A and B are shown apart, each in its own frame.
Chain A
Amino acid sequence: MTATLFARRVLTPVIFGGLLLVLWQVFVDLRDIPGYLLPSPSAIGTQLRENLGDILASSRASGANALIGLIAGIVLAVLAAVVAAWAPLVERLLTPLAAAVSAMPIVALAPVLSIMFSATSDLPRRIVVAIVAFFPVFVTTVRGLTRIDPIHAELMRSYAAGGWDLTRVVRLPGAVPYLFTGVRVASSLAVISAVVAEYFGGLQNGLGSRITSAASNTAYARAWAYVVAAIGLGLVFYLASLGAERLATRGRAPSST
């Protein structure tokens, strides 16, 4: 990365963000805003430092739920997409179903699942994450698998290649960039749903439950500290999926046919 590119891509947003924090601090201090309305960045920072151990532990719990649910969702979505691309009937059946499931709000799903499983189980939250992650990956992967260059299809036909060869050699590699577009969307959703699912009961060891309990104890600065951790977790997931995408599509033209 050249110096000017570094300045533009990294330095500029960092300076802008720092400036916003300073403005926020000055605003809270000068106008004497009460802590329950808007805690100052310094108060949130103090809470972050004081609760660091628990913040890391609950981030790890939420992160594990998000990661396991995300992976399960991706695996299921890719399998379903392969079947859907292979049999148009399945695609017509699955797509509305997947859309319906994705339209089901987490707030409706999480309490029901929490009741279905024991209160000490991580499973309900992971199921919520998997369901949420499924849809974007399924939709983009189906698109990638079904968008096939007619010449590639004819070539494979001239090779007397079977349906599985076509899938393995042409469809799957061609769908990789599409798959990762879906994964990038799903990874952010995974963290959000892992955290939000904790608002509705179940095992209370993650960021979501810490945020609700701090807020209900009017410890708003502490609640914000956990929110900051949730933002950090979401960024980690997003950057990781971006990195995986770069790795998987390296050496390809950005606009491959």
Chain B
Amino acid sequence: MTGVPAVALSAVGKTFGAGKPSAVTALTGIDLTVAPGEFVSLIGPSGCGKSTLMRLVADLEQPSAGTISVFGKTAHQARLDQDYGIAFQAAGLLPWRTVRANIELPLEVHGVSRPQRRARAEELLAMVGLSDFAGHRPDQLSGGMQQRVAIARALAERPRLLLMDEPFGALDEMTRERMQGELVRLSAQTGCAVIFVTHSIPEAVYLSNRVVVMSPRPGQISAIVPIALPERTEDTREDPTFFAAVTAVREALRAPQRVGLELT
């Protein structure tokens, strides 16, 4: 299995409302390969199709063109096999369930026995540092804590791939940086590949092995910036190599607009 990429996209396109005059081409000509254990961020302005791209991998949308494979299978089969865990911008916890029962949700749906579920939930609660809040309801938690529960839930099935759609988008800057640190630790600990959609350049740089820069109308990949940072610590954010990488991503994001200006 070592040779099989976590995700392989080839000439993928997505058009919403194909055939109608209101048809919108969200994505076109996407080629991307994500290696097992690799952390890849998708970044770009609104409407560049980065969320759509993640949803295609999750089999929540169907591609209009091209092929998607997840661990060598179709995206559909990968979803059925629970090869990925997913987290959205909103934590999306069930408000009537306790924190523990929320984390157990995917396991419960897949018929895992109660004692096994309980044991796995305890493990995950410890992993995200919420053991003391197992019996709390989601609305008793802060936004950051809710998002940690959502991440624990996404990891419940020990997926080899984690899909995250701006999971820290609604958090304040302090919480956000702390959550980024935790995510780096979690992804190293679990060894799963991550596709991470974000608006934030420093966030993408801090987290990723590679940053995929996208441009809108139609959504496509305009650059892929490899990030070669030493092991992430809190000091990483003040490291010159970090700033250099942020600058590289920022310039990659500006590049297509510069082309646009030259044309007009």
Q: Which residue of chain A has the shortest Cβ distance to B55 in the bound complex? A: A154
The CA of A251 and the CA of B140, in the complex, are separated in Å by 10
**Is A256 a contact of B95 with CB atoms below 8 Å?**
yes
**Is A252 a contact of B137 with CB atoms below 8 Å?**
yes
Contacts A155-B86, A160-B79 given; does A173 touch B109 at CB 8 Å? no
Q: Could you say which of B79, B90, B105 contacts A169, with CB atoms under 8 Å apart?
A: B105
**Is B94 a contact of A152 with CB atoms below 8 Å?**
yes
**Is A157 a contact of B95 with CB atoms below 8 Å?**
no
The CA of A155 and the CA of B106, in the complex, are separated in Å by 9
In the assembled complex, which residues on chain B have CB atoms less than 8 Å from the CB atom of A173? 94, 96-97
Contacts A157-B60, A165-B109 given; does A252 touch B86 at CB 8 Å? no
**Is B109 a contact of A159 with CB atoms below 8 Å?**
yes
Interface size class of B (residues with CB under 8 A): 20 to 34
Instruction: Convert B179-223 into 0s and 1s, putting 1 for each residue whose CB lies closer than 8 angstroms to a CB of A.
Output: 000000000000000000000000000000000000000000000
Instruction: Convert A232-257 into 0s and 1s, putting 1 for each residue whose CB lies closer than 8 angstroms to a CB of B.
Output: 00000000000000000001110011
**Is B96 a contact of A252 with CB atoms below 8 Å?**
yes
Q: Which residue of chain B has the shortest Cβ distance to A176 in the bound complex? A: B96
Q: For the complex, is B133 an interface residue (Cβ under 8 Å from A)?
A: no
> Which B112-162 residues have a C-beta within 8 angstroms of A?
137, 139
**Is A253 a contact of B137 with CB atoms below 8 Å?**
yes
Q: Which residue of chain B has the shortest Cβ distance to A154 in the bound complex? A: B60
**Is B96 a contact of A149 with CB atoms below 8 Å?**
no
In the assembled complex, which residues on chain A have CB atoms less than 8 Å from the CB atom of B95? 252-253, 256-257
Q: Report the tally of A-B residue pairs with Cβ distances under 8 A.
A: 56
**Is A154 a contact of B88 with CB atoms below 8 Å?**
yes
- Most chain A CB within a 10 A radius of its CB, from B79, B90, B95: B95
Closest chain B CB from A78 CB (angstroms): 17
Q: Which residue of chain B has the shortest Cβ distance to A256 in the bound complex? A: B95
**Is A151 a contact of B92 with CB atoms below 8 Å?**
yes
**Is B94 a contact of A158 with CB atoms below 8 Å?**
no
In the assembled complex, which residues on chain A have CB atoms less than 8 Å from the CB atom of B239? none
> Which A171-202 residues have a C-beta within 8 angstroms of B?
173-174, 176
Q: For the complex, is B108 an interface residue (Cβ under 8 Å from A)?
A: yes
The CA of A169 and the CA of B109, in the complex, are separated in Å by 8
Closest chain A CB from B164 CB (angstroms): 12
Q: Could you say which of A154, A161, A176, A257 contacts B109, with CB atoms under 8 Å apart?
A: A161
Q: For the complex, is A109 an interface residue (Cβ under 8 Å from B)?
A: no
In the assembled complex, which residues on chain A have CB atoms less than 8 Å from the CB atom of B74? none
Q: Which residue of chain A has the shortest Cβ distance to B91 in the bound complex? A: A151
In the assembled complex, which residues on chain B have CB atoms less than 8 Å from the CB atom of A159? 82, 105-106, 109-110
The CA of A252 and the CA of B139, in the complex, are separated in Å by 8
In the assembled complex, which residues on chain B have CB atoms less than 8 Å from the CB atom of A251? 96, 137
Give chain B's interface residues, CB within 8 Å of chain A: 58-60, 79-80, 82, 84, 86, 88, 90, 92, 94-97, 105-106, 108-110, 137, 139
Query: What are 29 A-B pairs with beta-carbon distances under 8 A?
Result: A152-B94, A154-B60, A154-B86, A154-B88, A154-B92, A155-B105, A157-B60, A158-B58, A158-B59, A158-B60, A158-B79, A159-B106, A160-B79, A160-B80, A161-B109, A169-B108, A169-B109, A173-B94, A173-B96, A173-B97, A174-B94, A176-B96, A251-B96, A252-B95, A252-B96, A252-B137, A253-B95, A253-B137, A256-B96
Given A158-B84, A159-B109, A160-B80, 12 other A-B contacts at CB below 8 A?
A151-B90, A154-B88, A155-B105, A157-B79, A158-B79, A160-B82, A161-B109, A169-B108, A173-B97, A176-B96, A252-B96, A256-B96
Give chain A's interface residues, CB within 8 Å of chain B: 149, 151-152, 154-161, 165, 169-170, 173-174, 176, 251-253, 256-257
